[in-house]
Structure 1
Amino acid sequence: MEFIDQLGCRVVLQRDKPVHDHVLVIATYQGRFVLTHQKERGIEFPGGKREAHESTIEAAGRELFEETGGRTSSLKYITTYTVHADTPFTKDVFTAVISSFEPRDHYYETYGPVIVDRLDEVERALRSRLLDDDCINYIVSEVI
């Protein structure tokens, strides 16, 4: 399945093996979406880069905890998407149900968790463009 993102780049969604260098986590807690407020991009789903020693599922769990303080034992790979930009990149997408939160002194490159019932509750001025991305919204609609 293909989409065009807000920057005009082709985005290809496919079921692949979760072996790529970037991860995105669609997380929920008590039926609500768990997002993070990334300091530069705004409010979005947690995610980031896989470390050399990690599997993508380990990276997804680590990024979720670093950016939200959320703990889960239910990470599940659902799909992969590739953005064909000047420098293409591929993200493995996981779902997670958070069982608990641990308070943190810092959340690395984020301001910490943002919990909402619906994605459209996030104020437009604070939204990362990821929350308005057709591919991401398609993934969310298919898994939630």
Structure 2
Amino acid sequence: MHTFKDFYRNKVTLSFDDHPFARHPKHVWVICLYGDQWLLTRHKDRGLEFPGGKVEDKERPEDAAVREVWEETGGVTESIVYIGQYIVAGKGGTIVKNVYMAIVQDLIPQKTYYETHGPILLETIPKNVKHRASYSFIMKDDVLPRCLHYVNTHIRN
């Protein structure tokens, strides 16, 4: 387990174990690859981030992850793998979020991307995301580098 502070100084605990905080979390975050590029979205308010959002009533978290990738990027998910889970002890309550890795096989243009401006493809994720105004706060804590390290050492090789 890894414990650290997020962008807003809330306590975050990240684990790569099997659902250590909740069997049915209410949020998902999806690290996406499309070919050899990272697939992100540009949130209308927050900036660049990987797709994610809330799990709807009676929806499985992995189904929510696939849906969020589709809605926010037009990405058709070929495969999805659970990476880990993190919990944020915030001032307004506690949030538990599953993290997934998705391989996207196709990008289909959409009439709407809901709360985002659609897909963004990047060759690399900058190491100094924390200091870049164009990136969402979601990308500015230790969840991103630790999950990317996990993906690169356990899934992509």
TM-score normalised to structure 2 length: 0.86
Runs of 4+ in 1 over 3 A off after TM superposition: none
Structure 2: which 5+ residue stretches go unaligned?
Answer: 153-157
Gapped runs of 5+ residues in structure 1?
Answer: none
User: How many residues are treated as equivalent by the alignment?
Assistant: 144
Instruction: Report how far residue 107 of structure 1 moved.
Output: 0.1
Q: 1:107 aligned to 110, 113, 137, which one? A: 113
CA–CA distance in structure 1, aligned partners of residues 37 and 149 of structure 2: 14
Paired residue for 2:38? 33
Specify the SS of the correspondent of 1:125: coil
Distance 2:6 2:132 in 1: 17
Contact 2:6 2:140 in 1 (8 A): no
CA distance in 1 between counterparts of 2:5 and 2:18 reads: 20
1:28-74 alpha-carbon deviations (Å, 9 max, x no partner): 01121100000111110100001102100000000000000000121
1:105-124 deviation per Cα after TM superposition (whole angstroms, max 9, x unaligned)? 01000000111011119792
- Report the 3-state secondary structure (helix = DSSP H, G, I; strand = E; otherwise coil) of the residue aligned with 1:58: helix
TM-score (norm 1): 0.93
Q: Note the aligned Cα RMSD (angstroms).
A: 1.6
Query: Among the aligned pairs, what percent are the same residue?
Result: 38
Matching residue of 1:2: 3
Deviates more, 1:119-128 or 1:23-32: 119-128
What CA deviation, in whole Å up to 9, does each residue of 1:12-33 have, x standing for no partner? 1122335201000000011211
SS of match in other structure, 1:88: strand
Residue 24 in structure 1 maps to residue 24 in structure 2: no
1:4 CA displacement: 1.4
Q: Name the CA distance, whole Å, in 2 between partners of 1:95 and 1:52.
A: 22
